[in-house]
Amino acid sequence: MDDYGQWIGRTETRRDIVVAGPLDRLAATLDRTDPPLKPGDQAPPLAHWLMFLPGEPQSALGPDGHARRGGFLPPVHELPRRMWAGSRLKFPGDLRVGMEVERRSLIADVKQKEGETGSLVFVTVRHEIGEPGGPALVIDEHDIVYRGLAGAAAKSAIAAPASGEWRREIVPDPVLLFRYSALTFNGHRIHYDREYTAHEEGYPGLVVHGPLIATLLLDLVRRERPGSRIDAFCFRAMAPLFDGRRMAVNGATPDAHGNVSLWAENAEGGLAMKAEARIG
């Protein structure tokens, strides 16, 4: 395997504008009844995941629907499975509708490991989002993992904790996955192409996006504590979720410091994602 450590330290800068329309459609996708956002309104947490989207032409896409590998991220060609493994986020400020924003990205770390099913490559990208030249309003350390095709695509999940004081059950269907893919301009075929997903990557169903699960977990906090500010959020993917199968997002009531334990479980009670938010 190539030495991808040489990618550490690479940077990239992109600019965008906080636009109300996609954020209103995200609220609709989450089954929220928020009023339409207006210029100057505070954008919801994780709004930056709908910005700075890839814009490669159709001819530049690979067989999995993603852009062909290379460019800013290391080109891990020999490990075709790719997933968003987790993030650690802080929200020191607020993004607002109409604001011009800049995302400054740094490849902070690359690690190559051997797992039960072969080689793995972990890439950590640190994103800082704020007004051009201004301080970071959002800090997002994003972990990406690359895996080979050896072994099962989805390992068995460990048992999730008992149902939380906060709980919401959802059955993700192809329409939900399509809408989220459209909002994030995500062409990865595992979220909408059942034949590709089964025959090429070996999954038993369409895969629910990791960031969608994380968004549903943080949305649970917003439903249960609508007046609270989200100061920080972190999550780690544990096992995939699939369309047509019941899932649940759970949360424990905040502790004395405002920390909220969160987790997503699959239909069999297995742990799909664990997370924590800090509210003020």
Domains in the chain: how many in total?
A: 1
Residue with tokens 């493994």: 85
Give pLDDT, residue 152.
Answer: 66
Chain segment 228-249, per-residue pLDDT in tens: 999 999 999 999 999 999 999 9
Instruction: Please enumerate in sequence order all residues whose Cβ is within 8 A of that of 190, keeping only pairs 6 or more positions apart, or say none.
Output: 64, 196, 197, 201, 203, 206, 207
Give pLDDT, residue 54.
Answer: 87
**Strand positions, DSSP E, the chain:** 11-17, 81-90, 100-115, 118-130, 138-147, 166-170, 230-237, 247-251, 259-265, 271-279
What CATH number has the domain bearing residue 179? 3.10.129.10
Could you give the residue ranges of the DSSP H alpha helices within the chain? 20-29, 174-183, 194-199, 210-224
pTM for the whole thing? Answer: 0.94
- pLDDT > 70 fraction of the chain, expressed in percent and rounded: 98
Chain segment 89-103, per-residue pLDDT in tens: 999 999 999 999 999
Q: Please give the average per-residue pLDDT across 185-197, as a whole number.
A: 95
Task: Note down the domain range covering 81.
Answer: 4-279
Output the CA–CA distances (angstroms, integers) from residue 62 to 4, 53, 58, 71, 120, in the order listed. Answer: 20, 17, 9, 14, 20
Q: Which two tokens stand for residue 35?
A: 């009023």
pLDDT at 88 over 80: yes
Chain segment 143-178, per-residue pLDDT in tens: 999 988 776 667 789 999 999 999 999 999 999 999
Give pLDDT, residue 66.
Answer: 84
pLDDT-based confidence at 1, cuts 50/70/90?
low
Buried residues in 243-273 as b, exposed as e (16+ CB within 10 A): beeebbbbbeebeeebebbbbbbbeeebbbb
Long-range contacts of 123-126 (CB under 8 A, 24+ apart): 123/4, 123/7, 123/73, 123/74, 123/76, 125/73
Grouping H, G, I as helix, E, B as strand and the rest as coil, residue 53 is coil
With CA atoms as reference, report the closest residue to 127 among 88, 96, 86, 181: 88
